[in-house]
Amino acid sequence: MSHSNRFASQHRSVLPGSEKANIAQLPASLAAHAISKPGTPGELITVTVILRRRNHIDHHAMTDRDARLTREEFGKQYGAEPASIRLVEEFAQEYGLTAVPHDDLGRRSVSLTGTEEQLEQAFGVDLTHQEIHGKTFRVREGSITLPEELQGHVTAVLGLDNRPQAKPHSRAAVPHDTNVSYTPVQVAALYGFPTSSAAGQTIGIIELGGGFSTDDLTTYFQGLNLPVTNVVAVPVDGGSNSPGDPNGADGEVMLDIEVCAAVAQGANIAVYFAPNTDQGFIDAISTAVHDTANKPSVISISWGGPESTWAQQSSTALDEACQSAAVLGVTITVACGDNGSTDGVTDGQNHVDFPASSPHVLACGGTTLQGNGNTITSEVVWNELANNEGATGGGVSNLFPLPTWQQNANVPAPTVSSGGRGVPDVAGDADPTTGYQVLVDGQQQVIGGTSAVAPLWAGLIALANQINGDNAGFINPTLYSTAVAGAFNDITQGNNPAFSAGPGWDACSGLGSPNGAAIVQALAPQAVAAVAAD
């Protein structure tokens, strides 16, 4: 350790928003099986320190296509201050930590590596180890404290705690005599998607577990008489493409790839694999947003968890990564959960899922879709809670206020004054009883969940980007404009169950399911400009 005690001698205060729930506040299924375990002496841990932006991102920067920046320009305008990076490096040196600033200033991150004891001293925390269902996690409870010199420079410290942060929003179909299923191509036809190529586009997919088999993808797309899609795996924070469990996260990964690649034929797919932690989740999104090699124009996320399970520093850091995406012209689509209006929380209150509740993503809800050929015969809100088979998430955020573009949507009042953002924005087929035919680890399966809707919309946006010759970027303000009302199939029946469908936007089906060709037209540069002028 350095002989200097510059930082050690300073007054410490709590890093705002760093409060972390204790192990007893885990879901009952996990907390009931938590067993204290010893740590591994000398084991090296890497945490991600997020630094403040040098400039605030305003609404204009996110919505004006002419104001978009290259990734290099973004780093210069909105990246971290060099002085902040130097400060963290000096802090790290004093506590014996190895500091590696990210070479992309726009990421605003520095990786710090050290032993558990060094990190405990540096950040004023106590780390324990808990075994949950046979796997040991490092657990931080309470708040992080920082020396006064770092306050205002550091906005988040991620990775001290590595308990699971999110779950995949996919559900396998339970056999019923009345079940129907579709290929993604058939769903796209029912929604009027263009059948042109999306070659030239790259769709990014965030995964926090599981993996894909290239042989399975070849078999699947050949079976649909489609060209085999180019899929690359991008490791983040030690994550990897690790297939092998057809009943685990592999189903999520294959659903995501097969849906978006089948509807956006010819698009490249980049799958960002990260550990299922808040650090892994946020680093994966930042990696995808700032990826200068693959350059995705749209990112699909099918993982999440109730807002109440997120530390404020983590939800803020993730939302800021989505703001960065908007300035760079990257659209993010997110599944809004499969457990109805409670989002699976058993406190008797309504909850929405995050990151779907971020106001800077397109939140995707679920329907039950019946159709024939190119004709929808019935479409209602997905709600199979009576059979314990899930329902679309939806409701009102407690974290994010009502966005300007939702002010005329008649969003219900929030339960807390800080909330107001309505979820979802849009919908699509999600009910496993009308699910998607996919191939997972050599097995034909039918899978649904709002996990299917995020890649469905991502594929549509990739098509729109290719057809329009311009990235759609942050599309929410455009979609909520009355000028594009014809772009949706309005869902007016069903509930989730606290919120009911009705004409226009509602908190279970959003604006509705897509009229594909009209969505593409609405996202054309001239159409967006006309909306902005209204």
Question: Per residue in 57-84, pLDDT tens?
Answer: 999 999 999 999 999 999 999 999 999 9
Which residue shows structure tokens 């942060």?
165
- Say if residue 32's pLDDT is above 50: no
Residue pLDDT, tens place only, 305-346: 999 999 999 999 999 999 999 999 999 999 999 999 999 999
Strand partners, 303: 168
Q: β-strands 167-168, 303-306: how paired?
A: antiparallel
What residues contact residue 325 under an 8 Å CB cut-off, 6+ apart?
Answer: 285, 289, 299, 331, 332, 360, 474
pLDDT of residue 526: 84
pLDDT of residue 529: 75
- Say if residue 29's pLDDT is above 50: no
Q: β-strands 395-401, 202-207: how paired?
A: unpaired
pLDDT of residue 482: 77
Domain 167-533: CATH superfamily, name plus number: Peptidase S8/S53 domain (3.40.50.200)
In the chain, where the domains are located: 12-158, 167-533
Between residues 483 and 397, which one has the greater pLDDT?
397
Is 286 buried (19+), middle (13-18) or exposed (0-12) by CB count in 10 A? Answer: buried
Residue pLDDT, tens place only, 339-381: 999 999 999 999 999 999 999 999 999 999 999 989 999 999 9
What span, in angstroms and rounded, lies between the C-alpha atoms of 354 and 457? 18
pLDDT band for 42, please (50, 70, 90 cuts): confident
Q: Mean pLDDT over all residues of the chain? A: 94
What span, in angstroms and rounded, lies between the C-alpha atoms of 291 and 301? 16
Residue pLDDT, tens place only, 479-504: 999 778 789 999 999 999 999 999 99
Which are the catalytic amino acids? 252, 256, 451
pTM: 0.96
Q: Which two tokens stand for residue 107?
A: 């990421």
Q: What number is the average pLDDT over the span 261-284? A: 98
Q: Which two tokens stand for residue 66?
A: 């002419």
Q: Which two tokens stand for residue 422?
A: 């309505």
Measured CA angle at 103 (ends 99, 104), to 5 deg: 125
pLDDT band for 2, please (50, 70, 90 cuts): very low
- Say if residue 264's pLDDT is above 50: yes
What span, in angstroms and rounded, lies between the C-alpha atoms of 251 and 170? 8
